[in-house]
Amino acid sequence: MINYIIESVGMMLALIGLLQVVIGVRVERRMYVYSALFFVFLFMYSGSILIGLLIRGHEGLFVGIILRFSIAFEFVFASLATASVTEVVIYRIDPERKNMAIRYVSAGMVILQFVLLIVTQFTGLYYTIDSHNIYHRSPGYIIALVVWFAVIALSEVMLIVYRKKLSAKEQFAFWIFFITPFVAVVLQWLWYGVYFTSFATTIAALVMNVFIIADKNERYRQNVEELAKLKVNIMLSQIRPHFIFNSLTAIQTLCHDEPAVAEKAIAEFSFYLRCNMDALSSDKPIRFPKELDYTRAYLNLEKLRFEDDLNVEYDIDCKFFEIPALTLQPMVENAVRHGIRETPDGRGTVKISTREYSDRYEIKVEDDGIGFDVNKPDPSHEAHIGIQNVRERLARVCGGTLEIHSEIGKGTTAVLSIPKGES
């Protein structure tokens, strides 16, 4: 009866943990998947134990088959649950998957456990089931514990070696999880018959998840703050006081000489400012033609100032896709201000083109300005701040990328890539 209660409560707690993961903040997709799978495995682990408890000792061939499956699944889901937490630890210390060796070792141990479990079905290595459908632990059961302890030991070694890559909350959460079941296994070995391990594992998992959720919420808050700073950087880099003053001065001159042109310029200037402000309040991608309109508004204002010194070419091959707001226009502005206008005569051409490929859309911004050494950027230079803002915006909003190719004296090409399926 104690075991029935333990496993029933364990299943409910596993469902609560799964619910925590599902409704929680999804900062990282892999962490979400691993955590969800972990609680699914825990639920199946306790469920397998509960089924086995209910039918042990009952006569019949069919009962014997079900019992064998339930006990085998106990080992399977226990191993998978431990492996999933180990994978969470590995992911947190190596998110870019640079060190595959530790993943291979972890996977190897799980595979070894499965192989030995299959061998057990024919040899009784871990356990046997007699003719009355009674479970008996075999002397070889210690091997299962050794393999399980090896997986735990691997995780604990990683926690020690790579502790600087984990937050304090994460370290505490993982240590809680790995130590508690370890103690429970020892107790279960000493007091055979009571399922300490599954219940202790589920409790430890819930505690671990609480700390991980707290850590995720903290990182989510930090991401929100960084996003706010990014928006400020975009505003500062795109709506520069001297550009506003120069544009207004050019419009003022036109008011006396060409009122009709001045009226059009005021409309362009108003549209340009509104576009920038709207982009700061939205984090969703927009239709490319709309972003192109923003860029045309900027270029039209610059043409008022520089007239024939600035030549603009368009080669729009495709336009039915979406792009994060304020990603094309900043690259065009860099081409004008830091490419063409810094040449000896201040003259040049900016070309905007688009192409569609099987897996992506590409937007190119090319200029024949002074160029620069891409390997030696000046982090304090506003052009490079604008580039970084665009790169982060592309990656965060649609999984896109920005590549810069430049040659001193020949010009610069910026390539914005938007993956299909994301746009």
Same domain, 224 and 272: no
Same domain, 196 and 334: no
Tens digits of residue pLDDT in 196-223: 676 677 777 777 767 666 666 677 777 7
Asked whether residue 146 carries a pLDDT value surpassing 60, the answer given is: yes
Give me the pLDDT at residue 321, please.
92
245 domain-assigned: no
Mean per-residue pLDDT, 294-310: 85
> What proportion of the chain, given as a percentage, has pLDDT over 90?
17
Give me the pLDDT at residue 391, please.
86
Same domain, 272 and 390: yes
Asked whether residue 344 carries a pLDDT value surpassing 80, the answer given is: yes
Find out whether 6 and 199 touch, Cβ atoms under 8 Å. yes
Q: Which amino acid is at 32?
A: Y
Taking CA atoms, 86 is separated from 29, 344, 364, in Å, by 16, 60, 43
- Dihedral sign for Cα atoms in the order 317, 320, 323, 327: positive
Find out whether 38 and 174 touch, Cβ atoms under 8 Å. no
Give me the pLDDT at residue 379, please.
43
Mean per-residue pLDDT, 388-410: 87
Give me the pLDDT at residue 423, please.
46
Secondary structure (3-state) at 360: strand
Same domain, 300 and 162: no
Find out whether 366 and 351 touch, Cβ atoms under 8 Å. yes
Mean per-residue pLDDT, 130-151: 85
Work out the pLDDT band at 24, boundaries 50, 70, 90.
low
Give me the pLDDT at residue 12, please.
83
CATH code for position 77: 1.20.1070.10
Q: How far is it, in rounded angstroms, from Cα 302 to Cα 247?
A: 8
Mean per-residue pLDDT, 139-143: 88
Tens digits of residue pLDDT in 241-295: 556 776 777 778 778 777 887 887 788 788 777 766 666 556 678 899 988 988 8
Find out whether 200 and 184 touch, Cβ atoms under 8 Å. yes
Work out the pLDDT band at 194, boundaries 50, 70, 90.
low
Asked whether residue 384 carries a pLDDT value surpassing 70, the answer given is: no
Q: How many domains does the chain have?
A: 2
Same domain, 167 and 313: no
Tens digits of residue pLDDT in 168-193: 777 877 787 777 777 777 776 666 66
Please tell me which residue, 261 or 408, carries the higher pLDDT value: 408
Asked whether residue 352 carries a pLDDT value surpassing 70, the answer given is: yes
Same domain, 119 and 202: yes
Mean per-residue pLDDT, 11-20: 80
Give me the pLDDT at residue 102, please.
76
Q: How far is it, in rounded angstroms, from Cα 87 to Cα 64?
A: 34
Asked whether residue 380 carries a pLDDT value surpassing 50, the answer given is: no
Tens digits of residue pLDDT in 31-86: 778 778 888 888 898 888 889 888 888 888 888 899 999 999 988 888 888 888 78
Which of 69-73, 287-291, 330-334, 377-381 has the weakest average pLDDT?
Answer: 377-381
Question: From the centroid of its chain, how far is CA 108?
Answer: 26
Please tell me which residue, 1 or 131, carries the higher pLDDT value: 131
Give me the pLDDT at residue 242, please.
55
Q: How far is it, in rounded angstroms, from Cα 348 to Cα 352?
A: 14
323 domain-assigned: yes
Same domain, 365 and 216: no
Q: How far is it, in rounded angstroms, from Cα 3 to Cα 10?
A: 10
CATH code for position 316: 3.30.565.10
Best mean pLDDT range from 80-84, 191-195, 365-369, 397-401: 365-369
Find out whether 117 and 126 touch, Cβ atoms under 8 Å. yes
Same domain, 126 and 25: yes
Find out whether 405 and 412 touch, Cβ atoms under 8 Å. yes
Work out the pLDDT band at 14, boundaries 50, 70, 90.
confident
Same domain, 106 and 195: yes
**Residue where one domain finishes, among candidates 228, 251, 282:** 228
Taking every pair of Cα atoms in the chain, the longest distance, rounded to a whole number of angstroms, is 106
Secondary structure (3-state) at 195: coil
249 domain-assigned: no
Q: Output the average pLDDT for the chain.
A: 80
Same domain, 17 and 85: yes
Which of 30-39, 93-102, 225-234, 350-359 has the weakest average pLDDT?
Answer: 225-234
Token pair, residue 373, equals 């050494």
Give me the pLDDT at residue 95, please.
73
129 domain-assigned: yes
Asked whether residue 402 carries a pLDDT value surpassing 50, the answer given is: yes
Same domain, 202 and 263: no
What is the CB-side half-sphere exposure of residue 253 using CA atoms within 13 A? 7
Residues of the domain holding 316: 259-419
Q: How far is it, in rounded angstroms, from Cα 83 to Cα 106?
A: 7
Please provide the distance, in angstroms rounded to a whole number, between the alpha carbons at the two ends of the chain.
56
Work out the pLDDT band at 164, boundaries 50, 70, 90.
confident
Asked whether residue 333 carries a pLDDT value surpassing 60, the answer given is: yes
Same domain, 27 and 153: yes
